[in-house]
């Protein structure tokens, strides 16, 4: 398993470097970053001073390496807008997004895995059709509309939950549901498909022939095998969710990374934008790496050569 | 609860219907495909004929008539002149909805085309040539997958400036990953078939083999992914516009309409409900169509 | 303790399919005595696997099983609930399947899968279960048994996995083992070893063994009694000697003619073959199922359902309207006629 691990690690690092390069070069999309920073009423002198101050006059490669070097040490520069080190701000807001993401993941898994299993046990039954309907609706519903609707019904009409802010645990329920619903269809479908396939396996027939109880057959034998691809999918989807949290966070005014990203985009806070994209991308890369490892570990055929 | 399947004896051979009849039977027997297709065609026609069907100019602001609810509400202000009511600037919601369909369909289709070309090229080349080409392609795909789409899209749009073209190109350049992944595995499956080997033995050029032998056999996968990615693009555009980084006012993008109504939704909930429902129906119909096509063209691939 | 460990009478299976109702098992009756091996022989699709699944109640959910009598060690199996059946499976009767490569769960160790069979049915401790597993692994000829417990299925060869399956079937000391084509997926050299092993174990533990196979050669060495199955029905039943020396049903005769027997089959002689194909089992077949392929078929073969009749010796039964003497006379006459035609044509 070790050579496999090392190879995947190598690829992950390469990808992270490439992403950093792309992220870095993003600021040049708007043309001269010094001009963008200076604003509309700036003079030539202002622009030149800004250029020198931020080092935009140096060759691009040097700028990139300098930026990368500092980023690896945890220094993402200074936020143009907040006058604070970017790293500080990001790591202050990161836990909130993590909590939102975790909440969403738990909600999604709690809903989709049991549904997927039930749907597979009774294909074409009522519960199967219900599960499929939930999946189909989930894929078609824009998350922001779902979030607003939830906010309206649960927050305003029925007054069950708080609608904005991120102070208490209850503040995360609606955003968590809105965000988690996004990945429920994929996870449920994969669970269902995996279970359906596994249930026709010969070793399930053997398990029944041994007289094992139906629950044992289902969970100990079937699900254990069917869940392997679901685990890596869930990890990957968690990464997607973190990227997509920007919409949910802005709606519910959750003070996380997504909200911060939106604010900094509005304010053209370039260092902050770059850093957030890089952080989220690296996190996603780490997640996929972890998912690969989990995958390998769960399957003895890979784990024990 | 039976969780095993024994191997039953083969049933008698039934008379085989023709492939055409078989396909027609499958298509017309598939409720999802028919419903999705019908709704999509309806929306498309309404969007196409919007200039003729819309009762009002979608940009026409009549402030004296703002915030009229739709006709089914129990409110003295409602009028059949504005079936779906008016927004905060007095613009007819039904007309805006119809023109908004144009935006969604246009952006969805264009972004799908661009991402389709990019993704299919990468995927087919990776699947056909394998080896180093495949490694590079996988690397590119993984890199793309690592970047949060919405975030990058918003960032790019904010830096470059938002317009219809920008949104289309940004989306098109970002959502090609599923095309690449699916086309790659489809190509790999077809690549090892004998007819490809015989084409190679005959000395056919590589472009010819790819276009004439491989593509027709993976076309069904392409169509399915195309429909699903079009739906994906539509939702993304709506999200971008909702955040103010997509289509700009006064254009009637459905996402933008929801965003503009956000502040009013507590008392005028229909303002977000109607465009949202429209989005939902459009995307649902495209998804149903795509799923239906997948079921009909490759039933073994599905459960 | 009954002498007969398994009694089956009138066992039938019906499965609804789009084209009608499939009858893959029709009116099967036989018994298995303690310590004896009964082989069910037939070609692919004749219904032998489904017969065993019917006995174990492991049929697909749509299938319907009916039986006049189905008793294991005197206990009626027909009215039992799923829970009661699961208490019996793996415990009083167990089954070995054809595909050793896929019949074990890849996610769990051999030891885990062996011990769970015992722990499910007995009040034993894990240590006791492991002890028995090791003992049985040694019995089935696996070396380094205690180390094997920690191994995963993918680390073992096909032959070894099948031995594990056999050990697993023996964990609870069952009265009856059903082996469905246990050697078909294995190399020829391993086949003989596995069969030999099964015979030995069966003798030692005095379990009944139902051996399902399409290979008559396999059967000749191992079986005490043989049942020949064709198109959902048992067409002949008897001891191994009776079947091989005095085959009474035209299908059995045809089968035996297909096998070259070293020492008996003359060099250059025609190997037999049975023309035609198996009939469809959807709907009811009037009369003899073999009629369309039988060289002796007459009108009365197709008129009514044919019942089993007694053969020359006790315990020998077959399902044909003709006696062996009549079929032999038929064949002699047909050969004479063919010879005459050939001579006339020259």
Structure confidence at residue C264 (pLDDT) = 65
Task: Inform me whether the C-beta atom of residue B8 falls under 8 Å from chain A C-beta atoms.
Answer: no
Please give the full DSSP string across C144-207, using - where no structure is assigned.
SHHHHTT--GGGS-HHHHHHHHHHHHHTT--SEEEEESTTTTS-HHHHHHHHHHHHHHHHHHT-
| CA quadruple A152, A158, A159, A165: dihedral, nearest 10 | -30
Strand partners, C71: C7, C76
Contact B233, B171 (CB under 8 A): yes
DSSP assigned state of A165: -
Nearest CA in chain C to A300: C107
For residue B270, pLDDT beyond 50: yes
Strand bridging mode C75-76 / C69-72: antiparallel
Q: What is the pLDDT of residue A202?
A: 92
CA-to-CA distance for A35 and A45, rounded, in angstroms?
11
Burial class (CB in 10 A: 0-12, 13-18, 19+), C344: exposed
Report the candidate in B20, B57, B49 with the shortest Cα–Cα distance to residue B296: B20
What's the gap in Å between the CA of C121 and the closest CA on chain A? 8
Classify C20 as helix, strand or coil.
strand
Label residue C336 exposed, middle or buried (CB < 10 Å: 0-12, 13-18, 19+).
exposed
Q: CB of C22 within 8 Å of any CB in chain B?
A: yes
Q: What is the pLDDT of residue B1?
A: 40
What is the model's pLDDT at position B16? 64
Q: Is the pLDDT of residue C336 over 90?
A: no
Do residues B1 and B266 make contact, with C-beta atoms less than 8 angstroms apart?
A: no
Asked whether the beta carbons of residue A211 and residue C99 sit closer than 8 angstroms, the reply is no
User: For position C276, what pLDDT does the model report?
Assistant: 79
The distance in angstroms from the start CA to the end CA of chain B is: 19
Q: Which two tokens stand for residue C159?
A: 């032959």
CB C224 within 8 A of CB C37: yes
From A221, A225, A301, residue closest to C154, measured CB to CB: A301
Query: Which residues in chain A have Cβ-Cβ distances shorter than 8 Å to C158?
Result: none
CA distance C30 to C38: 9
d(CA C291, CA A171): 78
Q: Does B245 reach chain A within 8 Å, measured CB to CB?
A: yes
**What is the pLDDT, as a whole number, of residue C106?**
92
CB B181 within 8 A of CB B118: no
Q: Alpha helix locations (H) across chain B? A: 19-29, 31-48, 50-53, 93-129, 131-146, 149-160, 164-174, 177-191, 194-201, 206-208, 215-242, 254-261, 270-297
Give the span between the Cα atoms of C148 and C245, in whole angstroms: 45
pLDDT digits (tens, 9 = 90+) for C93-149: 999 998 889 999 999 999 999 999 999 999 999 999 999 999 999 989 898 888 999
Q: Is B198 on the interface with A (CB under 8 A)?
A: no
Mean per-residue pLDDT of chain C: 88
Chain C contact present for B159, CB below 8 A: no
| Amino acid C283: pLDDT | 81
* CB within 8 Å: B9 and C22: yes
Which of B244 and B10 is assigned the larger pLDDT? B244
Q: What is the DSSP string of C32-80?
A: EETT-EEEEE--TTSSHHHHHHHHHT---TT-EEE-SEEEETTEE-TT-
Tokens representing C102?
Answer: 């896929």
- Check CB contact of C56 with chain A, cutoff 8 Å: yes
* Mutant choice from C105, C154, C156 vs A, greatest count of A C-beta within 10 A: C105
CA atoms within 13 A on the CB side of A210: 33
* CB neighbour class for C18 (10 Å; exposed up to 12, middle 13-18, buried from 19): exposed
* pLDDT at residue C302, rounded to an integer: 84
Q: Which residues contact B196 (CB under 8 A, 6 or more apart)?
A: B190, B209, B213, B214
Cβ distance A246 to B151 less than 8 Å, yes or no, reads yes
How far apart CA B127 and CA B179 sit, in angstroms, is 12
Q: ∠B187-B192-B197 over CA atoms, to 5°? A: 115
Query: Which candidate from A137, A204, A246 shows the least CB-CB separation from B150?
Result: A246
A36 or B257, higher pLDDT: B257
Preceding peptide of A269 cis, ω within 30°: no
**DSSP assigned state of C290:** T
Q: Name the least confident of A280-289, B153-162, C176-185, C326-335.
A: C326-335
- Pairwise CB contact (< 8 Å): A209 & C117: no
d(CA C247, CA B21): 50
CB contact under 8 A, B239 and A144: yes
pLDDT in tens, C16-56: 988 888 999 999 999 999 989 999 998 888 889 999 999 99
Cα(A149)–Cα(C148) distance, integer angstroms: 58
Interface residue B4 vs chain C (CB under 8 A) = yes
Contacts of A80 (CB under 8 A, 6+ apart): A37, A267, A268, A269, A270, A271, A272
Stretch C158-186: mean pLDDT:
91
Give whole-number Cα distances, A235 to A35, A285, B80, B255, C33, in Å. Answer: 41, 10, 51, 29, 56
- For residue B9, the chain C residues in CB contact (below 8 A) are 22, 24, 45-47, 50, 281
Q: With an 8 Å Cβ cutoff, are A210 and C99 in contact?
A: no
For residue A222, what is the nearest residue in chain C, using CA coordinates? C105
Are B12 and C19 inside 8 Å of each other by CB? yes
Is a pLDDT exceeding 50 seen at residue B201?
yes
For the four alpha carbons of B242, B247, B251 and B253, in that order, the dihedral sign comes to negative
pTM score: 0.82
Which H helix or E strand runs over B268?
none
Query: Under a CB-based contact definition with an 8 Å cutoff, are residues A282 and A19 in contact?
Result: yes
Low-confidence residues in chain A, pLDDT < 70: 1, 30, 36-40, 305
* Contact of C316 with C237, CB cutoff 8 Å: yes
B109 pLDDT exceeds 90?
yes
Using the predicted structure, report yes or no on whether residue C252 has a pLDDT greater than 50: yes
What is residue C10's predicted lDDT score, i.e. its pLDDT? 92
* Cα dihedral C312, C318, C321, C326 sign: negative
What pLDDT does residue B8 have?
A: 41
Average pLDDT, chain B: 85
What separation, in Å, do the N-terminal and C-terminal C-alpha atoms of chain C show?
A: 68
The percentage of residues in chain C with a pLDDT greater than 90, rounded to a whole number, is 42
CA distance to A296, B114, B143, B240, C285, per residue, from B170 (Å): 36, 10, 16, 11, 68
On chain A, the residues whose CB falls within 8 A of the CB of B239 are: 142-144, 247
Burial pattern C199-227, b for ≥16 Cβ within 10 A else e, equals bebbeeeebbbbbbbbebebbbebbbbbb
Closest CA to C170 of C105, C85, C90: C90
B111-137 average pLDDT score: 93
Answer yes or no: do B148 and A242 touch at CB < 8 A: yes
Facing C60 at nearest CB: one of B5, B9, B12? B5
| Helix or strand run (H / E) with residue B266 | none
Average pLDDT over residues B272-290: 92
Tell whether the model's pLDDT for residue C289 goes beyond 80: yes
How many angstroms separate the CA atoms of B286 and B124, rounded? 25
Query: How far is the CA of A164 from the CAs of A99, A160, A168, A181, in angstroms?
Result: 16, 13, 11, 19
Number of H helices, E strands in chain A: 15, 0
Residue A18 CA to residue C215 CA, distance in Å, equals: 62
Side-chain half-sphere CA neighbours of B267 within 13 A: 6
Q: What are phi and psi of C96, to 5 degrees?
A: -120, 135
Spell out which residues of chain B touch residue C18, defining contact as CB-CB under 8 Å: 11
Q: pLDDT grade, residue B17 (50/70/90)?
A: low
Residue B293, Cα to own-chain centre: how many angstroms?
13
Share of chain B above pLDDT 90, in %: 38
How far C140 CA sits from the closest chain B CA (Å)?
A: 28
Query: Which of C7, C4, C46 is CA-nearest to residue C233?
Result: C46
Answer with the residue of higher pLDDT: B110 or A300: B110
Are B33 and B293 contacting, i.e. CB atoms less than 8 angstroms apart? yes
- Tokens matching residue C338: 């063919």
Residues in C closer than 8 angstroms to A208, CB to CB, are: 58, 86, 89
Tell me: pLDDT of B3 over 50.
no
pLDDT confidence bin for B299, thresholds 50/70/90: low
Q: Does B117 touch chain A (CB under 8 A)?
A: no
């Amino acid at each position: 398993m070790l050579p496999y691990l090392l190879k995947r690690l190598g690829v992950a690092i390469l990808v992270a470097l490439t992403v950093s390069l792309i992220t870095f070069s993003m600021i040049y999309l708007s043309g001269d970053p010094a001009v963008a920073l200076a604003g509309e009423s700036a003079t030539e002198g202002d622009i030149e001073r800004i250029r020198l101050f931020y080092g935009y006059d140096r060759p691009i490669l040097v700028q990139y390496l300098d930026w990368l070097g500092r980023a690896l040490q945890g220094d993402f520069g200074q936020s143009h807008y907040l006058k604070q080190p970017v790293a500080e701000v990001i790591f202050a807001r990161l836990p909130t997004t993590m909590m939102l993401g975790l909440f969403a993941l738990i909600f999604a898994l709690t809903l989709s895995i049991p549904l997927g299993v039930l749907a597979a046990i009774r294909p074409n039954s009522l519960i199967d059709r219900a599960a499929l309907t939930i999946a189909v609706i989930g894929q078609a519903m824009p998350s922001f509309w779902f979030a607003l609707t939830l906010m309206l019904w649960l927050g305003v009409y029925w007054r069950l939950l708080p609608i904005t802010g991120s102070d208490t645990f209850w503040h995360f329920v609606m955003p968590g549901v809105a965000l988690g619903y996004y990945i429920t269809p994929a996870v449920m479908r994969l669970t269902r498909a995996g279970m359906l396939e596994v249930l026709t396996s010969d070793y399930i027939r053997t398990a029944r022939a041994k007289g094992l109880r139906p629950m044992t057959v289902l969970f100990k034998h079937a699900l254990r095998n069917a869940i392997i691809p679901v685990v890596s999918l869930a990890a990957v989807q968690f990464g997607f969710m973190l990227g997509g949290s920007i919409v949910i966070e802005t709606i519910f005014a959750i003070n996380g990374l997504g909200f911060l990203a939106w604010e900094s985009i509005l304010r053209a806070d370039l260092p902050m934008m770059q850093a957030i994209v890089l952080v989220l991308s690296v996190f996603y890369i780490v997640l996929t790496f972890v998912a690969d490892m989990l995958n390998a570990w769960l399957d003895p055929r890979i784990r024990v050569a | 609860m039976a969780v095993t399947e024994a191997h039953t004896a083969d049933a008698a051979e039934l008379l085989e219907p023709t492939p055409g009849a078989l396909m027609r039977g499958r298509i017309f027997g598939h409720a999802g495909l028919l419903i999705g297709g019908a709704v999509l065609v309806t929306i498309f026609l309404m969007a196409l004929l919007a200039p003729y069907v819309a009762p009002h100019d979608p940009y026409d602001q009549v402030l004296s008539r703002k915030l009229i609810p739709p006709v089914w509400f129990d409110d003295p202000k409602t009028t059949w002149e504005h079936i779906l009511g008016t927004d905060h600037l007095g613009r007819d919601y039904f007309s805006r909805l119809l023109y908004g369909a144009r935006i969604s369909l246009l952006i969805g289709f264009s972004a799908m085309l661009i991402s389709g070309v990019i993704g299919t090229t990468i995927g087919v080349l990776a699947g056909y040539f394998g080896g180093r080409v495949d490694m590079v392609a996988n690397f590119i795909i993984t890199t793309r997958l690592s970047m949060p789409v919405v975030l990058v899209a918003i960032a790019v749009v904010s830096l470059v400036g938002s317009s219809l073209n920008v949104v289309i190109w940004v989306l098109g350049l970002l959502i090609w990953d599923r095309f690449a992944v699916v086309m790659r595995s489809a190509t790999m499956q077809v690549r090892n078939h004998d007819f490809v080997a015989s084409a190679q033995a005959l000395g056919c050029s590589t472009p010819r083999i790819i276009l004439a032998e491989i593509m027709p056999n993976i076309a069904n996968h392409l169509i399915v992914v195309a429909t699903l990615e079009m739906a994906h693009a539509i939702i993304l555009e709506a999200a971008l516009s909702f955040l103010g980084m997509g289509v700009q006012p006064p254009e009637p993008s459905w996402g933008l309409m929801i965003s503009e109504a956000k502040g009013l939704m507590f008392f005028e909930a229909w303002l977000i409900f109607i465009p949202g429902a429209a989005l939902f129906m459009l995307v649902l119909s495209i998804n149903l169509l795509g799923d239906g096509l997948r079921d009909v063209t490759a039933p073994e691939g599905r459960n | 303790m009954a002498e007969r460990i398994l009694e089956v009478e009138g066992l039938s299976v019906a499965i609804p399919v789009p084209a009608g109702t499939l009858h893959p098992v029709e009116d099967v009756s036989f018994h298995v005595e303690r310590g004896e091996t009964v082989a069910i022989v037939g070609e692919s699709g004749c219904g032998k696997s489904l017969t065993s699944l019917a006995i174990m109640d492991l049929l697909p959910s749509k299938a319907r099983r009916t039986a006049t009598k189905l008793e294991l060690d005197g206990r009626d199996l027909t009215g039992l609930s799923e829970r009661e059946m699961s208490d019996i499976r793996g415990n009083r009767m167990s089954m070995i399947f054809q595909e050793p490569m896929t019949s074990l769960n890849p996610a769990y160790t051999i030891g885990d899968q062996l011990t769970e069979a015992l722990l499910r049915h007995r009040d034993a401790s894990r240590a006791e279960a492991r002890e028995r597993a090791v003992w049985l692994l040694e019995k089935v000829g696996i070396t380094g048994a205690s180390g094997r417990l920690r191994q995963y299925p993918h680390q073992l060869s096909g032959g070894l996995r099948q031995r594990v399956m056999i050990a697993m079937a023996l964990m609870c000391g069952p009265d009856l083992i059903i082996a469905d084509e246990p050697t078909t997926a294995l190399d020829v050299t391993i086949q003989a070893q596995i069969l030999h092993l099964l015979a030995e174990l069966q003798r030692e533990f005095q379990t009944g063994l139902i051996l399902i196979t399409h290979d008559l050669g396999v059967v000749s060495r191992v079986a005490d009694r043989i049942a020949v199955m064709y198109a959902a029905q048992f067409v002949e039943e008897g001891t191994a000697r009776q079947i091989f020396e005095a085959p009474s049903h035209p299908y059995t005769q045809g089968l035996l003619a297909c096998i070259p027997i070293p020492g008996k089959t003359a060099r250059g002689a025609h190997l037999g073959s049975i023309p035609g194909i198996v009939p469809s089992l959807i709907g009811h077949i009037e009369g003899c199922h073999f009629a369309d392929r039988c060289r002796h078929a007459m009108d009365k073969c197709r008129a009514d359902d044919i019942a089993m009749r007694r053969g020359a010796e006790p315990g020998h039964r077959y399902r044909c309207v003709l006696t062996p003497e009549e079929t032999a006379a038929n064949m002699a006459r047909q050969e004479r006629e063919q010879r005459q035609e050939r001579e006339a044509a020259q």
